[in-house]
Structure 1
Amino acid sequence: MKKFVLALLLTFAFMPAAFAARMRLTVPEEAPIGQPFFLELRANEAIGDVTVTWRGQKFVLAPRRNAVRTILGAPNDAKLAGSTLPVQVEFDCGAKGRIRAERKIKVTGYRYPKQVLTVAPKMVTPPQSELKRIAEERQLVRKALATRSKGGVLPRRYVPPVPGIPTAYFGGFRVYNGVPRSGHGGLDLRAAVGTPVRAIADGTVVLEGAHYFSGGAVYVDHGGGVLSAYFHLSKNLVEAGQKVKAGDAIALSGATGRVTGPHLHLGLFSGGAALDPLPLLEPQRLPKGVEVLYEI
């Protein structure tokens, strides 16, 4: 028996690498402009809050079971195509101190469709009487998108906000009544007036109201700088500060604001940048992550 115990102790003495602290960081090697991707970090021992630095912004994530997951992305800006952007993570790991790691992500181009639409003239050139309101609403939206509550472990799969199919995709350069405008900042989904609109993930409502261009609008903070937005609503069912769960009805769809007919506009934002929500509903569209193992 003594020989067995001695042999066991010697085995463990000469196997320190097998029990070394390790971290797995997963991000894609390439990501198109305007398209979201997951950053995932997992460690095999307790870690503190994780700070993610991306495009000059810092996001704090609280680990659950020594893991975090969040959504990042490069804005839909053709000037970024071909660039290489770093993403850094850092956290405290007990006696090992502050741990830091960095990955490089190549930003690629993406061809988005052009969209030509006809809407009410006042939705292209608002009357003078509405300009103050529009400016005030833009400030409210900027404040909402600047929300930086602590993130954690975002889900891999998201609840479709309505059952309808896409009618207009993200990023398409838009022409309203012959007047060029910027690209489409979200995903339009078919929805008859009065269809329940459901939160795509757990979060907290940070803004709701009736806006000139967006119509009835609700913004939900999911933590770590990630927000979803729901536009053209006929009725809002939630208030600012209210916590919601994935699948909760937060509004009824409608045809308010700048629309050509009833539908839901779903928006996705990370660090204030508008990203394509479709890959969250169809995960096969997400850029594939590459896992790298680090000893810490």
Structure 2
Amino acid sequence: MCDIVPPKKHFITKVIGIAVFAALHSPAAHAHFAPEAVPGGVAEIRVANAEAPRPQVRFDGRPVLLQQRRNGWFALVGLPLDTPVGDRQIDVGPDGDSRPLPFAVGPKAYPVQKLTIKNPKMVTPDPADLARIDAERARQIDIRSRFRDVPVARADLDLPAEGRLSSRFGLRRVFNGEPRAPHTGLDVAVPAGTPIRAPADGVVTLVDDLYFNGKTVFVDHGQGFVSMVCHLSDAGVSPGQAVRRGEVIARSGSSGRATGPHLHWSVYLNGAAVDPALFIAPPPAR
């Protein structure tokens, strides 16, 4: 019977390091991310060689998500729905010594969606509710605009709940005949009580019951990459809690301004609401 000699510690560390590097830089890590430089989309821009130190990159003064891949450093830039079509630029380098890097924003037309809301206060709130709504809006803008500087290995996201994709991102919405802000998320038709799962690893930054959104959870995935799920029946997480991709964080419902049970899912990059469908695998062909 021969003795089994354990491998040396430094060899194990080296093997693990190689495996982690391969996982972070493998094409599979980005297989379901399809950037589209349009209003409400994501511009993917190569900003430096892979061997270069991590660059500093900003868009409209905000830092943006950076990923180091085999063929370079890439910036993922969220483009708000009101972004003008045409030439835009990011700034690469430190303040006072940056260089502009131009990119083009193409056009995209979003359809109109007309909905009937039973509660008229969810279309035209009472004056007494406006202060609450303004405070909640400011808090959400702050939450989704934070920049937690941690590595983001994957740009793809998992759909938080399995179901039919109903109302798409960017729809120009009309409630009870009144034009309102565009739809800044993706709705998934699911019955009440359906488990809602974290679309990627992250940290919970807000759990609240909001006027329009109802019961809501924000998850920060790092570097300004943020998910929000709302109209929930209940949340099973707390602010500051770390969550893993696929972990149940809530259950679906119809709280807030909703026509019925469903999941609303929003994704933000550098503070801008972007189309969640860009980050998920397309549905299988039927």
Residue 225 of structure 1 aligns with an amino acid whose one-letter code is G
Aligned to 1:220: 219
Decide which structure has greater strand share: 1
Using the aligned pairs only, state the percent identity: 37
Aligned to 1:183: 182
Q: CA deviation at 1:157?
A: 2.7
Aligned to 2:62: 57
Q: Distance in 2 between matches of 1:135 and 1:256?
A: 19
1:31 aligned to 37, 40, 49, which one? 37
Residue pair 1:68, 1:152 contacting (<8 A) in 2 also = no
Unaligned runs of 5+ in 2: 1-33
Q: Distance in 2 between matches of 1:66 and 1:105?
A: 19
The answer to whether 1:84 aligns with 2:82 is no
Q: CA deviation at 1:131?
A: 2.3
* Secondary structure of the structure 1 residue equivalent to 2:208: strand
* Secondary structure of the structure 1 residue equivalent to 2:133: helix
Residue 109 of structure 2 aligns with an amino acid whose one-letter code is R
Unaligned runs of 5+ in 1: 1-27, 92-98, 285-296
Q: CA deviation at 1:130?
A: 2.2
The higher radius of gyration belongs to 1
Q: Distance in 2 between matches of 1:283 and 1:129?
A: 43
Residue pair 2:35, 2:43 contacting (<8 A) in 1 also = no
Cα distance per residue 1:65-109 (max 9 Å; x no partner): 9975553232111x601x211224449xxxxxxx97754211111
- How high is the TM-score relative to the length of structure 1? 0.75
Residue pair 1:61, 1:151 contacting (<8 A) in 2 also = no
Residue pair 1:63, 1:153 contacting (<8 A) in 2 also = no
* Secondary structure of the structure 1 residue equivalent to 2:245: coil
Q: CA deviation at 1:252?
A: 0.5
Count of residues in correspondence between the two structures: 247
Quickly say closer, same or farther: Cα 1:32–1:158, change in 2 above 3 A. same
* Secondary structure of the structure 2 residue equivalent to 1:50: coil
Counterparts of residues 97-108 of structure 1 (less than 5 Å): 103-108=101-106
Cα distance per residue 1:232-259 (max 9 Å; x no partner): 0111111111111111111111111001
Q: CA deviation at 1:173?
A: 0.7
* Secondary structure of the structure 1 residue equivalent to 2:218: strand
Q: Distance in 2 between matches of 1:65 and 1:238?
A: 36
- How high is the TM-score relative to the length of structure 2? 0.77
Q: Distance in 2 between matches of 1:146 and 1:80?
A: 21
Aligned to 1:231: 230
Q: Distance in 2 between matches of 1:160 and 1:29?
A: 17
Q: CA deviation at 1:42?
A: 7.1
Q: Distance in 2 between matches of 1:249 and 1:67?
A: 34
Aligned to 2:125: 126
The answer to whether 1:276 aligns with 2:275 is yes
Quickly say closer, same or farther: Cα 1:201–1:39, change in 2 above 3 A. farther
Q: Distance in 2 between matches of 1:283 and 1:104?
A: 30
Aligned to 2:245: 246
Quickly say closer, same or farther: Cα 1:39–1:248, change in 2 above 3 A. farther
Cα distance per residue 1:127-169 (max 9 Å; x no partner): 2332232222112112102211114234143211000121101
Residue pair 2:57, 2:75 contacting (<8 A) in 1 also = no
**Cα RMSD between the aligned structures?**
2.8
120-129 or 235-244, which deviates more: 120-129
Residue 55 of structure 1 aligns with an amino acid whose one-letter code is D
Residue pair 1:68, 1:153 contacting (<8 A) in 2 also = no
